[in-house]
Structure 1
């Protein structure tokens, strides 16, 4: 089964790509989730293990709630509140979070 990570934006995706050591589809929501976007993502969402990794702020929390309503079995990943954003979370911390969720990560 393939793994998919939903993030808010391109910067988040770029940060994750720096630490991932396996092929993972990373989908950018750009802060919203519409019916059209879900349709666009349908092929990945139907046959994949889905993870949600959004910022620890109000917009991230709203998106997390919305996606959880649409995709109840999504698995949640969280950055530490002190970093607030995936883009500002140190790479070693991101690697630790992803490794804990059974992703292959690059070792520094």
Structure 2
């Protein structure tokens, strides 16, 4: 588990790379690869119980479906939203992703703000 108790859940590898590029603190980034089984969700819920969990998924149908699923299993998680103009986390500019994370109290590289 992460050093400082923060976890970000994203959909794909490119989303993970985008987030990893802008953050300035040690945290786990979990990649669901767009879908997640109920058993995996239960496993997540148990291991993430005492962590600060952030959900950052695409602003499209599959992202919203995953968000609803995660909301049921991880009701305490904070939901972060990219602007619908970009549709995907990976397609959003670095400064946009950095602003979203910064507002959620996650340290980001200042060059992106």
Coarse TM-score class (shorter-chain normalised): over 0.9
After superposition, the CA RMSD in angstroms is: 1.4
Counterpart of 1:79 in structure 2 is: 82
Unaligned segments of structure 2, at least 5 residues: none
Q: 1:42-61, aligned counterparts within 5 Å?
A: 44-61=47-64
Structure 2 residue 13 is matched with structure 1 residue 41: no
**Structure 1: which 4+ aligned runs deviate by more than 3 Å?**
39-44
Post-superposition offset of 1:97? 0.6
Q: What TM-score, normalized to structure 2?
A: 0.88
Unaligned segments of structure 1, at least 5 residues: none
Structure 2 residue 4 is matched with structure 1 residue 6: no
The number of aligned residues is: 108
Q: What TM-score, normalized to structure 1?
A: 0.92
